[in-house]
Structure 1
Amino acid sequence: MAFEIKKQAKAYDVCIVGSGAGGGMAAKVLAEAGLKVAVLEAGPKYDPADPAQQTQLKWPYESPRRGANTTRPFGDFDAAYGGWEINGEPYTKKNGTQFDWFRSRMVGGRTNHWGRISLRFGPNDFKHYSLDGHGDDWPIGYDDVKPFYDRVDKMIGVFGSKEGIYNEPDGYFLPPPKPRLHELMIKQAGTKLGIPVIPSRLSILTRTVNKDRGACFFCSQCSRGCTVHADFSSSTVLIKPAMKSGNVDLYTGAMVREVLTDKTGKATGVSYVDKNDLQEYQLNARVVVLAASACESARLLLNSKSAAHKDGLANSSGVVGKYLHDSTGSSRSAFVPALMDRQRYNEDGVGGMHMYIPWWLDNKKLDFARGYHIEFGGGMNMPSYGFGFNLEGVQAKDPGRAGKAAGGYGPSLKNDYRRYYGATVGFAGRGEAIARADNYCEIDPNVVDKFGIPVLRFHYTWSEHEIKQAKHMQDTFEQIIHEMGGIPLNPRPGEEVMHGLENPGRIIHEVGTTRMGNDPKRSVVNKFNQAHDVKNVFVVDGGPFVSQADKNPTWTILALSLRASEYIVDELKKQNL
Structure 2
Amino acid sequence: MQIKESSEVYDVIIVGSGAGGGMATKQLADAGLNVAVVEAGPFFDPKDPKTMTQLKWPYESPRRGARTDRAFGEFDMAYGGWEIEGEPYTREEGTEFDWFRSHMLGGRTNHWGRISLRFGPKDFKGKDRDGHGENWPISYDDVKPYYDKVDKLIGVFGTNEGLEDDPDGFFLPPPKPRLHELFYIQGAKKTGIPVFPARKSILTKRINNERGVCFYCRQCSRSCSVYADFSSGSCLIFPAQQNGGRVKIFVNSVVREVTTNEEGRATGVSYISKEDRKEYKLKGKVVVLAASACSSARILLNSKSKQHPNGLGNSSDLVGKYLHDSTGASKAGFIPALMNRKVSYNEDGVNGMHVYSPWWGDNSKLNFPRGYHIELGGGMGMPNYGFAMNTNEFNKFFGLKVGGYGESLRSDVKKYYGSVIGMAGRGEAIARKDNFCEIDPTTVDQFGIPVLKFNYKWSDFEINQAKHMQDTFEEIIHNMGGEPISETPSKENHYGLEAPGRIIHEVGTTRMGDDPKTSVTNRFQQLHDANNVFITDAGPFVSQGDKNCTWTILALSWRASDYIIEQLKQQNI
> How far 1:243 moved relative to its partner?
1.5
CA RMSD of aligned residues (A): 1.4
Aligned partner of 1:73 among 64, 71, 74 = 71
Give 1:134's aligned residue: 132
Query: Residue type of the partner of 2:289?
Result: L
Report the Cα distance in structure 2 between the residues aligned to 1:181 and 1:104, rounded to whole angstroms: 34
The amino acid that maps onto 2:55 is L
Partner of 1:310: 309
Mapped contact 2:389–2:416 kept (Cα < 8 A): no
Residue 264 of structure 2 corresponds to 265
Helix, strand or coil at the partner of 1:130? helix
Kindly provide the amino acid, as one letter, of the partner of residue 431 in structure 1.
G
State the distance in 2 between where 1:489 and 1:386 align: 14
> Structure 1: which 5+ runs fail to align?
none
CA distance in structure 2 between the partners assigned to 1:388 and 1:65 by the alignment: 23
Q: 1:110-509 maps to which residues of 2 (within 5 A)?
A: 110-244=108-242, 245-345=244-344, 346-383=346-383, 389-391=389-391, 393-394=393-394, 397=397, 405-509=401-505
Question: Could you say what secondary structure the match of 1:10 adopts?
Answer: strand
State the Cα deviation string for residues 19-60 of structure 1 (Å, max 9, x = none).
000000000000000000000001111111110010111101
User: Is the partner of 2:20 in helix, strand or coil?
Assistant: helix
Cα offsets for 1:495-519 (capped at 9, x unmatched): 1100000000000000000000000
Contact in 1 for aligned 2:65/2:74 (Cα 8 Å): no
1:20 aligned residue: 18
Partner Cα separation in structure 2 for residue 154 and residue 178 of structure 1 = 22
The alpha-carbon deviation at position 387 of structure 1 amounts to 6.5
Shift of 1:397: 4.8
- Rate the CA distance shift 1:396–1:413 in 2: closer, same or farther, 3 A: farther
Question: TM-score with structure 1 length normalisation?
Answer: 0.97
Q: Which residue of 2 aligns with 1:59?
A: 57
Matched residue of 1:150: which SS?
Answer: helix
Distance in 2 separating the partners of 1:323 and 1:344: 49
Q: Is the 8 A contact 1:391 1:420 kept in 2?
A: no
1:8 is paired with a residue of what secondary structure? strand
Q: CA deviation at 1:388?
A: 7.8
- Distance in 2 of aligned mates of 1:126 and 1:161: 23
In the TM superposition, what is the alpha-carbon distance from 1:410 to its structure 2 partner? 2.8
TM-score by length of 2: 0.98
Measured after TM superposition, the shift of residue 235 of structure 1 is: 1.0
Q: Quick one: structure 1 residues 249 and 385, their matched pair in 2 at CA, closer, same or farther if it must change by over 3 Å?
A: farther
Structure 1 residues 384 and 446: alpha-carbon distance in aligned structure 2, compared to 1, 3 A threshold = farther
Check the 8 A contact 1:391/1:417 in 2, yes or no: no
SS of the equivalent of 1:433 reads coil
Equivalent of residue 102 in structure 2, options 98, 101, 104:
104
Contact 1:75–1:385 (8 Å) recurs in 2: no
Which of 531, 534, 540 does residue 535 from structure 1 map onto?
531
1:511 matched to 2:510? The reply is: no
Any conservation in 1 of the 2:58–2:65 contact (CA below 8 Å)?
no
* Aligned counterparts of 1:410 and 1:250: Cα–Cα separation in 2: 51
Percentage of identical aligned residues: 66
1:41 to 30, 39, 60: 39
Would the aligned equivalents of 1:392 and 1:407 in 2 still touch at CA under 8 Å? no
Letter in 2 for 1:204: I
- Match of 2:406, as an amino acid? G
Q: List per-residue Cα deviations over 1:327-376 (Å, max 9, x = no partner).
A: 00001011000101111243211011000111011111111010000111
Query: What number of residue pairs does the alignment pair up?
Result: 571
* Residue type of the alignment partner of 2:370: R
How many angstroms apart in 2 are the aligned matches of 1:384 and 1:157?
33
Deviations 1:511-551 (A, max 9, x none): 00000000000000000000011000000000000000000
Paired amino acid for 1:154 = K
Q: One-letter code of the match for 2:225?
A: T
Q: Partners of 1:524 and 1:157 in 2: how far apart?
A: 32
**Take 2:249 and 2:386, find their aligned partners in 1: how far apart are those partners?**
34
Displacement, 1:190?
1.5
Please give the per-residue CA displacement for 1:276-295, whole angstroms capped at 9, x wherever unaligned: 11110110000000000000
Contact 1:540 1:557 in 2 (8 A): yes
Where in structure 2 are there 5+ consecutive unaligned residues?
none
Aligned equivalents of 2:501 and 2:9: distance in 1? 37
> Could you tell me how far apart the structure 2 residues matched to 1:116 and 1:69 are?
23
